[in-house]
Amino acid sequence: MSDGQIAGTAVASPLPAPDRVPAGTRQAVPVRIGLLILMLFLLLRPVTVAYHHIGSVSLLDIFGVAVSYLIILGLFLNCNRLRIDFTSLAILFFVFYCGVSFAWGSNYRDAVRMVLPFLPFFLTRAVVLRQKSVTLLLQSATWGYVLPVTGSLVVIGLGISTTMVTGSMVERQAGLASGVHTQGHLMLFFSFIFALYCLLAPDKRKFKRFMFVLLLATLFCIFKTYTRTVILGGAIFWFGHLFFWKRKLFFLLLAVALAASVFLLQDIRNLVTQEHAVSNQGGINRKITLNTASSGRIGIWQHNLRLYADLPLTTQLLGVGLGRELDRIPGTADQQWIGSHNDYLSLLITTGVLGLLFYLMIYGTVFATLVFRPLERRLRVFGLALLAAVMVMNFVSNSYIVRFQMAQLFWFLIGLLYALAAQQRPPLKTGTRGVA
């Protein structure tokens, strides 16, 4: 199928007939319950990120635990539909490793926060059996963004948003979220939802217009956060996705980005170089270095890697334990880890070489699935662009491993792609024409 056909009014369903539930039949009750749980999760997850506390009560934590129990219920009801492949086995092996890591000091709360985000991946694969389910889930996620986005626009417009000014001397606004990084990652994730919906439901023109307006609002919110990690991840995703899917849109986006860069040149320079932070710390004679431009990340990584290199070999292999990254080093007077701002380094410290390799193995199986499993080219490109953006963001900050809520959403999307791939096996010889 050509790009021109994709952009038209209708395309063949990405769920070919041999493996999907016929449109005129009712799905089994366990499947419908599983879908309802996922819809509830997608509707409320963005809301709880924005409205994260009621007084001293953390909605983020309460919702995360509650929805995890619901997803476990959905998995129990649909246990006969669970699919086990290399990715599932890699995840289960990592979960087992996190479980046994209690033996060498892992914190229960942090171990649970590390493994629970995988649950949406398994449930999504089990209950997404037809096209209507896909669009309903993505629409639920879209409606979940309405309140956080509109609320953030209001508080930013009224000047009452949570605001911070860092060394770049650029005013950064968090909207309704607890911080600019949380806000930025949440708003960026809507880009992923929008792009996938456009691929899967090209005929839903009215809802796509509504989503496009919401997309523009999320991009404005990202702009107001001035979060470099999010901007980098968004650029990798959109440029990579459009370059291989819609080349004309790629060049249009490139032109818009270049024009915006000229208009915002000074702010971009302040953000990239952190030159104001340098002058504030030691006068104008201090040089701008890669460390200062990275807000001290290079120095933090070097510090933590030095401490890691001094650990006993067994601790290097197994880690100090989940939740203990900020603890003092045993047997030292004043040696202490610093927050890594790098998900992979955090994994290395807390779960050791083995834990980091096990997690990267999960990503490796996802990459192999997207490349080698039967999947429409446009969905393959989307998945690879998403994976590349997330893996880069994980490297330069705390993103889709350490951030519990974002990890849940990411693994939902990966589960959705796997469900679509499972439905696109070569059809039986029934005379039905499949997707080109």
Q: Pick left, alpha or beta for residue 168 (phi over 0 → left; psi -120 to 50 → alpha; otherwise beta).
A: alpha
Cβ(341)–Cβ(393) under 8 Å?
Answer: no
Mean pLDDT, residues 263-268 taken together: 68
Question: Does residue 12 surpass a pLDDT of 60?
Answer: no
pLDDT, tens only, 169-181: 577 888 888 788 8
Cβ neighbour number for residue 158 with a 10 Å cutoff:
8
Three-state DSSP class for residue 174: coil
Mean pLDDT of the chain, nearest integer: 83
Q: Please give the pLDDT value at position 194.
A: 96
pLDDT, tens only, 142-152: 999 999 999 99
* Beta strand pairing call for 163-165 and 53-54: unpaired
Cβ(434)–Cβ(12) under 8 Å?
Answer: yes
CA dist 112 to 2, 323, 436, Å? 45, 10, 42
Intra-chain end-to-end CA distance of the chain, in Å: 5
Q: Give the Cα separation of 248 and 243 in Å (integer).
A: 8
pLDDT, tens only, 286-342: 566 666 666 778 888 898 899 899 889 999 999 999 988 877 776 666 778 788 889
Question: Does residue 426 surpass a pLDDT of 80?
Answer: no
